[in-house]
Amino acid sequence: MVAVDVMLNSISDVKKFVNIVSKYDFDIDLTSGRYVVDAKSIMGIFSLDLAKPIMVEIHSDDTGEIMKELKPFFIEG
C-alpha cells in the first residue's frame, strides 16, 4: 500500500482524478479526517472537505504508473 496527500481544488480536478483512478483494478481510498470513501466515486469525493488535503491510499504493490498520473495532484513539500 502507498499513501500520499493530494489536493482536489475544483470540479475539473475531481473529474480528472476519478477518470485516472477508475482505470485501475485495485482498491483506492480517500481519507479525510475520520471519513474514508472510494476514490472511484465522484459522489463520495464531494462528501469530503475538499478545502483540506486528502490522503490517497493505493492498495497495490504496482503503483508506478498511477503515481505518475496522479503527480499533478500531489501536495509539494
The grid coordinates listed for 45 are 469525493
Determine the distance from the C-alpha atom of residue 12 to the mean position of all C-alpha atoms in its chain, rounded to a whole number. 14
What local confidence, expressed as pLDDT, does residue 77 receive?
A: 55
Mean pLDDT, residues 57-75: 96
Per-chain mean pLDDT for the chain: 96
Q: Alpha-carbon distance 11 to 6, whole Å?
A: 14
Contact 63, 74 (CB under 8 A): no
pLDDT digits (tens, 9 = 90+) for 14-32: 999 999 999 999 999 999 9
Banded pLDDT at 76 (limits 50, 70, 90): confident
DSSP state, residue 75: P
